[in-house]
Each structure stands twice: as C-alpha cells, then as structure tokens.
C-alpha cells in the first residue's frame, strides 16, 4: 500500500472537483493520531478500488481555505465527492466495512 496523493488549494479543483470518478478526500493533520489509524483503511480501499475510486489527502493546517469551504471542524473527516459535490461524509475513524457501507452506492 502506497502513499496517497496530497492535494492543495492549487490542485483541489483538478484532482477532486473535476475528477471523472468518485474521490475520497481525507482531511487530516500531522498531529492527529486517529488520522494515522484510518490511513491503512483508506490505503486498502484505494488499492482494491483502483481505477474506480481515487483517494487523496488534504492537510488542514496547510490548506485552511479548503477546510473552511467544506466546513471541516474535526479530523479525520472523510468526504466522498462525486460529480464535484460532496455526496457522503463521515467524521472520525471508521473500519473498512463501515466505509464500504457508507460509500456503497459509489463503489463497484
């Protein structure tokens, strides 16, 4: 399982909003222990749904404008974007099964 692509304010529109496939965005911070717990779960989803789903990370400390735009108050927050819109969002650590249930309509 590799690293996630990190998106910034400069790349968010192209990498997330204009993406032709659903995108899972993890809002995280370096100091966030639960963010480290959820990373392997997201890596597994990225690997298993490669080509059907992109998984990216947004560092909230380095990109506060994105966090503010989407009302992110807690990390980790995991949002699913489809067609440039947030269609699902969960806050906190979730198991793989829980995320798959939450995102079921968007995973093939």
* Residues identified as active-site: 32, 35
Report how far residue 6's alpha carbon sits from residue 61's, in angstroms, rounded to the nearest whole number.
13
Structure tokens at 44: 């597994």
Provide Rg for the chain, Cα atoms. 12
Report how far residue 34's alpha carbon sits from residue 42's, in angstroms, rounded to the nearest whole number.
13
């Amino acid at each position: 399982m590799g690293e996630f692509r990190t998106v910034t304010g400069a790349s968010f529109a192209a990498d997330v909003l204009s993406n032709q496939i659903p995108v899972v965005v993890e809002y995280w911070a370096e100091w966030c222990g639960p963010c480290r717990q959820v990373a392997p779960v997201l890596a597994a989803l990225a690997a298993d749904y490669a080509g059907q789903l992109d998984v990216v990370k947004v560092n909230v400390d380095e990109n506060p404008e994105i966090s503010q735009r989407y009302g992110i108050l807690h990390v980790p927050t995991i949002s699913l974007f489809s067609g440039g819109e947030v269609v699902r969002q969960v806050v906190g650590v979730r198991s793989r099964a829980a995320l798959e249930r939450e995102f079921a309509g968007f995973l093939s």
